């Protein structure tokens, strides 16, 4: 199949690049991003991403979920990996290469072909005034496929279960949300990327069609061995498709580990609160106790100790003083002094 040949051809090209690549697809070391609100000096500091350590293996493609509420920094982290936002400190290595060192245009283009994004609202991700095929052909020309562009596009569309005349010649509003999102995925696949960053890819799609897109992500991982970072606030879909999950709160990765462990036997108090707060689709088990509502979001960013201390039922004085360390417990990392 055409794409198989593309894949082989790409691997020779890359071999020349990353001779000394270690086994990691992606690795971040104490990645931090600080936003200053207001003037350069007098403005207040907001630590959106707080020294995050992540590692994804190359041989074993996986679906890794970054879960958390709004303001937890999960989208900022995604934008850093995609290269859309610079980070303030720490290190980020893709296939062993430090992305800040990629200066030449060729290298930057290589990174742009290796990591591809999937956006939340398909109707926003396509220019409403231009035909949908515009991006498909553009990606085909740019991904250096010296084969017939139309064939590459056609193959990509077939892979996502669409055929040509569903999509070509059409404007975005003439397609349904599900079709458009799958076209976006097809576009991302043309450059045979090794890593997809999907930011809330299914939250705008009708519930009944959501499963087909999620199932499709699982096939991508298994058959096309593409690793995916799945960003969501919906833990139910995260449990359904991902292998590992990282829970983020106010920029910190509070719990990181296999989905079975983290979501079935949560340890960190915040993960417990999150899991409890999801409205279960089972009328028998309704919520028992009332929970404490936090009215002081901004202050939590600045607090020295654990960011969850204000709302944590088990918080002690010590929690407020210094930041908790990552502890490896029962197969996952937890950032909490209780362990």
Please list every residue from 179 through 238 that binds another protein, using CB under 8 A: 179, 184, 187-188, 191, 200, 203-204, 206-212, 214-215, 233-237
Q: How many residues of this chain bind another protein (CB under 8 A)?
A: 82
Q: What is the largest CA-CA distance in the chain?
A: 66
Q: Binding to another protein (CB under 8 A): which residues in 271-290?
A: 273-284, 286-287, 290
Measure the CA–CA gap between 188 and 230, rounded to whole angstroms. Answer: 15
Nearest distance from residue 189's CB to another protein, in Å?
12
Binding piece for another protein, criterion CB under 8 A, among 15-23, 52-60, 94-102, 108-116: 108-116
Beta bridge partners of 63: 228
35 part of the interface to another protein, by CB under 8 A: no
Binding piece for another protein, criterion CB under 8 A, among 36-44, 149-157, 314-322, 325-333: 36-44
36 part of the interface to another protein, by CB under 8 A: no
Q: Which residue has the tokens 């993960």?
A: 271
Nearest distance from residue 154's CB to another protein, in Å?
17
Distance of CA 116 to the CA centre of its chain: 11
- Contact criterion met (CB below 8 Å) for 266 and 272: yes
* Residue 276, SS3 per DSSP: helix
The smaller minimum CB distance to another protein, of residues 53 and 177, is found at 177
The smaller minimum CB distance to another protein, of residues 84 and 304, is found at 84
Q: Binding to another protein (CB under 8 A): which residues in 86-105?
A: none
Nearest distance from residue 267's CB to another protein, in Å?
15
264 part of the interface to another protein, by CB under 8 A: yes
Measure the CA–CA gap between 61 and 187, rounded to whole angstroms. Answer: 20
The smaller minimum CB distance to another protein, of residues 30 and 236, is found at 236
The smaller minimum CB distance to another protein, of residues 136 and 333, is found at 136
8 part of the interface to another protein, by CB under 8 A: no
Rounded to 10 degrees, what is the CA torsion of 110, 112, 116, 121?
-160
315 part of the interface to another protein, by CB under 8 A: no
DSSP 128-163: TTS-THHHHHHHHHHTT--S-HHHHHHHHHHHTT--
Beta bridge partners of 172: none
* Residue 127, SS3 per DSSP: coil
- Choose which of 127, 163, 164, 316 interacts with another protein (CB under 8 A): 127
- Choose which of 13, 22, 60, 84 interacts with another protein (CB under 8 A): 84
Of all helices (H) and strands (E), which one includes residue 224?
helix 207-224
Nearest distance from residue 123's CB to another protein, in Å?
8
Q: Which residue has the tokens 């956006």?
A: 119
Between helix 177-189 and helix 133-142 the angle, nearest 10°, is: 10
């Amino acid at each position: 199949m055409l794409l198989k040949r593309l894949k082989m051809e790409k691997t020779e090209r890359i071999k020349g690049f990353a001779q000394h690549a270690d086994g990691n697809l992606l690795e971040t070391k104490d990645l931090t991003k600080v936003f200053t609100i207001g003037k350069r000096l007098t403005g207040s500091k907001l630590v959106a991403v707080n020294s995050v350590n992540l590692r994804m293996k190359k041989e074993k493609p996986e679906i890794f979920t970054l879960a958390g509420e709004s303001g937890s920094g999960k989208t900022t982290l995604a934008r850093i990996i995609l290269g859309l936002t610079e980070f303030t400190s720490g290190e980020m290595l893709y296939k062993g290469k430090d992305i800040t060192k990629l200066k030449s245009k060729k290298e930057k283009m290589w990174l742009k072909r290796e990591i591809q994004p999937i956006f939340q609202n398909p109707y926003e991700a396509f220019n409403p005034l231009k035909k949908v095929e515009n991006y498909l052909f553009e990606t085909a020309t740019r991904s250096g496929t010296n084969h017939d562009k139309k064939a590459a596009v056609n193959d990509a569309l077939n892979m996502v279960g669409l055929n040509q005349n569903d999509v070509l010649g059409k404007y975005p509003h003439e397609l349904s949300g599900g079709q458009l999102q799958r076209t976006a995925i097809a576009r991302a696949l043309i450059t045979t990327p090794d890593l997809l960053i999907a930011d809330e890819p299914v939250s705008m799609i009708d519930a009944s069609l959501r499963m087909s897109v999620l199932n499709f992500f699982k096939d991508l991982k298994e058959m096309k061995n593409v690793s995916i970072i799945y960003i969501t606030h919906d833990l139910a879909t995260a449990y359904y498709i991902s292998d590992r999950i990282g829970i983020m709160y106010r920029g910190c990765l509070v719990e990181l580990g296999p989905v079975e462990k983290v979501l079935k036997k949560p340890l960190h108090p915040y993960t417990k609160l999150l899991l409890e707060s999801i409205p279960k689709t089972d009328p028998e088990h309704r919520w028992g106790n009332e929970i404490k509502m936090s009215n002081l979001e901004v202050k939590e960013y600045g607090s020295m100790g654990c960011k969850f201390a204000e709302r944590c039922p088990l918080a002690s004085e010590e929690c407020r003083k210094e930041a908790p360390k990552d502890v490896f417990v029962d197969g996952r990392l937890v950032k909490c002094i209780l362990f």
